[in-house]
Amino acid sequence: MTDARPGWLSRDDLEQARDRLPLVYVDALPVRVDERGVVTSVGLLLRAMPNGSISRAPVSGRVLYGERIRDALMRHLEKDLGSMALPRIPTAPQPFTIVEYFPDPEVSGFHDPRQHAVSLAFVVPVSGDCVPSTDALDLQWMTPDEAASDAVALEMTGGQDRLLRLALASVGVLP
């Protein structure tokens, strides 16, 4: 079935593009902050992976053709956390880092077996009620110390544990 939304690719077109082009993604780490803007908790999704394993992950997804980065962030945050998450995305968002995911895990340490993807990574404060979407099994809030633990790193794939630590360092709460 082909989706008729502008900028959306059919499964076949997406597979052909993945074989030939790097795709643009956004990664968003939802956080709760106190009144001073200090990160007090980090939200990680629990997802079923295509290979049948279970993994913790930030919010992530493709940027559509003609879509602004801010709009892509909002779309994926609302899709994964619900419409009442109330993300606070600046008018002109700036990523804390850019990550390159490769089919070969040896290239960058960030791995996506399906494709070469370039992802702009953001830390996004959310202030509303978050309810994981049907694509996620659960959403767990944890302290920065808990999120940076070896136990959580073992539950993450594709180098996203490194991305989480970079995010925590970018906001000054890496333990």
User: What are the chain's domains?
Assistant: 22-170 (3.90.79.10)
Tens-place pLDDT, residues 100-141: 999 999 999 999 998 999 999 999 999 999 999 878 899 999
Q: CA-to-CA distance for 8 and 44, rounded, in angstroms?
A: 26
pTM for the whole structure:
0.88
Position 5 pLDDT exceeds 70: no
Predicted pLDDT at 19: 77
Q: CA-to-CA distance for 162 and 175, rounded, in angstroms?
A: 14
Position 1 pLDDT exceeds 50: no
Token pair 């302290």 is found at 143
Position 4 pLDDT exceeds 70: no
